[in-house]
Structure formats: C-alpha cells, structure tokens
Amino acid sequence: MLRLGSVLKFIPFPLIVGFTSGIALIIFSTQVNDALGLGITGMPAGFLEKWGVYFSHQGPVNLWSLGITALTILIVMLAKRFTGKIPGAFIALIVTTLLVSLMKLPVATIETVFGSIPSDFSFEIPAIDPSNIPKYFAPAFTIAFLGAIESLLSAVVADGMIGANHRSNTELIAQGIANIISPIAGGIPATGAIARTVTNIKTGGRSPIAGITHAITILMIMLFLGNYAKLIPMPCLAGILIVISYDMSEWRSFRAILRGSKYDIAILLTTFFLTVLVDLSVAIQVGIVISALLFMQRMSTSSEVIKADTDADMIENYSFVPDSIEVYEISGPFFFAAARKYREVLKNTRESSKIIIIRMRHVSFIDTTGIQNFREIIRDLQSSGKKVLLSGVRPEVLEELEKSRLAFMVGKANIFSHFDFAVEKAMKMAGELEKPKHHAK
C-alpha cells in the first residue's frame, strides 16, 4: 500500500547475488543430513555449528539414502535435456517413492520424520498477546521485506524469460493479503520462488493461471493424496533441493562480480557471509546500508567543482574577458556527501574577481545539506563584495532554490537558463567591455 515495490527495484545487483548465493549454500547445508542418511536429530541452526556436527558425526552413511539422492539429481538433470513439459522433480518424486515403497528400502520418509500429512484444515484466528506487539514489528518487517525481495526478484527473472513487465506494487499487495490469510488457515508466510518460477516457465507456464493451478494441485494432494505423499523419501527431497540450491547459487554472476570493482565486491562478500554466518535479515540490512554508503562515497568522489578556463569558455562570444570575472562549474549532484568539498573550492576565489559565475548544468539535484552549504558559500562571496550569477540551473533544482529562498538571496535576475546569458550579464556588470585582458588566438 506504501508503493514500496518501486523502491525495491533499486537494490543493487551484487547485494541480490550475495543474498541468493548465501541462501543457496544454506539450503545445501540443511540437506546433507537427509542426503547421506545420517539420521542426526536436533540439528543446530547455525551454519558453522551444523557443519561441525556433520564432521564430528561417528555414524555410517546410509548408502541407500545416498543412492536415492544421486538418482534424484540424475533424473532432474536428465529431464531438463529430454523433456520440457514434465518437471524432472515430479518424475523423481514418483520414481523414488515407488522404488522405496516397493523395495522397502531403509530410508527416511516424510511420514517417519514428520508424521502423517493432515487431510483437512480449519480457520482459526491466532492468539496475539497485546503486550508482545512491539516485539512483533522487527520480525514482521524482516519477513515482509525478505519476501518482497524474493518475490520481485522472481518476477524480474520471469520478465526476462517471457518478455513481460510485472507490476511490483500489485505483486506485493497480493502477497500481503495471502500472507495475512495464510496463518488463519494454519499456514506460514509464502513468497515467489525463483526455482519454481523458472521451472514453471520452462514447462509452458506464462500467466497467473499457472500459479492458481499450482495452488489448487497442492491443495488436492493434501486433501486427497496425503496418504501417498507421506511416503516420499527424504533423500529425494534432499536431491531436489540440492539441484535448486545449485540453480540459485548464481555462481557465474558471483564470479563475474569478483572481477569487477572493489565496491561491488565489498557488497557481494559482506552480504554473502552475513547471510551464511549470521542471519538473513542482518545481511539485508547491513548490505543495504553499505551499498548506500559506498554509493554516496562514489558519487562524492565523482562530483567536483572545476575552475573554468574563461578564455576557452567565452571565446565564442567575446574576444576578451576582464579580470573581475571568474567561472566555476559544479559537476555532479549537490548533496550532503559532496557539499563541503564544493564549499572549500568555491571560497578560494581570486581577490581581483568581483563577479563569480557558477555553472550548474550538471547538477541533477540538491538536498537540504547542499542548500545550507550553498547558502554559506553565497553569503561568504557576497560579504567580500562579489556578485554571484548562476547559469544552467535545471527546473527541479531551481524549484528547490526558490523554496529555500536561495533564489532570492542570489537574485532571480542573476539566475540564467543558459551560460551565454550569464556571461553577457557579467560583462555588463563588470563594465569592462573595452578593457582587454586576453586577446583571441
């Protein structure tokens, strides 16, 4: 409802790759127990702790579980090559479930690990303790934010595959409504998923009808086929999720970013390691903050104030320029990260100069800090007896100058849309059209 879907589009690509690659590694780590049939219970949630348990485990590997996992991966990979209509994961589920059930293989199944699958559901309002409401905000925001990122990322991937354009805010409204209703029916938060989206498109799905069909199919399986679904072997699910984690790993993009700029590498690795070692929400929050800080640092570095060569700038219209005129050009946004640098340069004008022309054609925006520093710059120049002229001010920047009364401080008659008009006014103000300083070459 806040239309934040448009904002989420500005999340940098290295952050998304680091996040999804980290999730892929986490998914893979959670499947090792079932894939190898280790039978470990009470598995810790932490990544390092989980692998510590794996390496310290003294029990044998269940070769039947390892075989089912390998068979599942093989079927999924081969299905991508030989059939485009039936997902390999579905084929693997049917084949391995029949194999385990008919041969009575000693591997874990959904039933042995989780119990029976319920064949009905009921609506019930969850109990909410009002005293705990403040504690709900952080996890609720985190879940909503992560769900939004994952869903919109899936939508972007789908757009690229089918040549469409999704409506990000509509996607989030629909997902929000679904996730409000879901817990009333005993469900958990859901998001769009890249792996399922890609599989869906590759098997012919092109519209929301595919998602509706998917939901109805899952519901029918739960209501009428639960007794069969509970026989699905856990190594099969592990094999499917291992393939999904590989598809999600973005290892090609990961490698490409590592060859890029140090800024992108910093965002990528920070997000990746925080996702794996700390927490998903921490990774996203820190990643966005670091991305913003590095962006501001890069913008401030690329922004500069240049003292113009007045002969070169004015030679087209005038054959000489008086000493009293000095020209500076601001290149880049006039925002808080660069405002002080602009001030330091502009205050070092020549004593002989009486008229300062500040070209602002490359200033795309100005923020509150920029306005405050600009006001101090103009005040310092005017207090030393200098006149300030502005040229090439963009309409949106001029609007901000007018709102802050800076336009009236400079004088609206001294603000020009084109540099030539500012030069003409400066020459008249200097009153030195007939006193040459440099002759044209």
Average pLDDT over residues 384-412: 91
Question: For 87-105, what is each residue's pLDDT tens digit?
Answer: 788 899 999 999 999 999 9
- Same-domain pairing of 20 and 75: yes
Domain presence at residue 437: no
Residue 281 has pLDDT above 80, yes or no: no
Please list, in sequence order, all residues whose beta carbon lies within 8 angstroms of the beta carbon of residue 244, skipping any fewer than 6 positions away: 27, 195
Structure tokens at 388: 């300030």
Domain presence at residue 439: no
How many distinct structural domains can be found in the chain?
A: 2
- Same-domain pairing of 281 and 362: no
Strand, coil or helix: what is 388? Answer: strand
Domain presence at residue 435: no
Max distance between CA atoms of the chain, in angstroms, equals 106
Structure tokens at 302: 């690329």
pLDDT band per the 50, 70, 90 thresholds, residue 61: very high
Residue 318 has pLDDT above 70, yes or no: no
pLDDT at 140: 86
Which ranges in 104-132 belong to alpha helices (H)?
110-114
Query: CA-CA distance, 144 to 140, in Å (whole number)?
Result: 6
In this structure, of 150-164, 263-277, 284-298, the range with the lowest mean pLDDT score is 150-164
pLDDT over 70, % of the chain = 93
- Same-domain pairing of 291 and 311: no
- Same-domain pairing of 315 and 225: no
Beta strands in 203-346 (DSSP E): 304-307, 325-331
Residue 312 has pLDDT above 70, yes or no: no
- Same-domain pairing of 222 and 338: no
Placement of tokens 């899952």 in the chain: 218
Q: Are 295 and 281 in contact (CB under 8 A)?
A: no
Please list, in sequence order, all residues whose beta carbon lies within 8 angstroms of the beta carbon of residue 104, skipping any fewer than 6 positions away: none
Residue 67 has pLDDT above 90, yes or no: yes
Domain presence at residue 26: yes
- Same-domain pairing of 166 and 287: yes
Please give the model's pTM, rounded to 2 decimal places.
Answer: 0.73
pLDDT band per the 50, 70, 90 thresholds, residue 224: confident
pLDDT over 90, % of the chain = 30
Average pLDDT over residues 261-265: 90
Domain presence at residue 440: no
pLDDT at 84: 64
Domain presence at residue 386: yes
Residue ranges making up the domain that contains 275? 5-295
Report which of 425, 439, 441 is spatially closest to residue 320, judged by C-alpha positions.
Answer: 439
Stated as kind and residue range, the H or E segment containing 361 is strand 355-362
pLDDT band per the 50, 70, 90 thresholds, residue 41: confident
pLDDT at 320: 56
Average pLDDT over residues 271-293: 88
Query: CA-CA distance, 426 to 356, in Å (whole number)?
Result: 8
pLDDT band per the 50, 70, 90 thresholds, residue 240: very high
Calculate the average pLDDT of the chain: 84
Structure tokens at 367: 């923020």
Query: CA-CA distance, 48 to 33, in Å (whole number)?
Result: 14
Residue 310 has pLDDT above 60, yes or no: no
Q: Are 301 and 52 in contact (CB under 8 A)?
A: no
- Same-domain pairing of 198 and 309: no
Which one has a higher pLDDT value, 160 or 59? 59
In this structure, of 140-149, 153-162, 203-212, the range with the lowest mean pLDDT score is 153-162
Average pLDDT over residues 276-301: 84
Query: CA-CA distance, 95 to 239, in Å (whole number)?
Result: 13
Size (the chain), residues? 441
Placement of tokens 């989420």 in the chain: 8
pLDDT at 423: 86
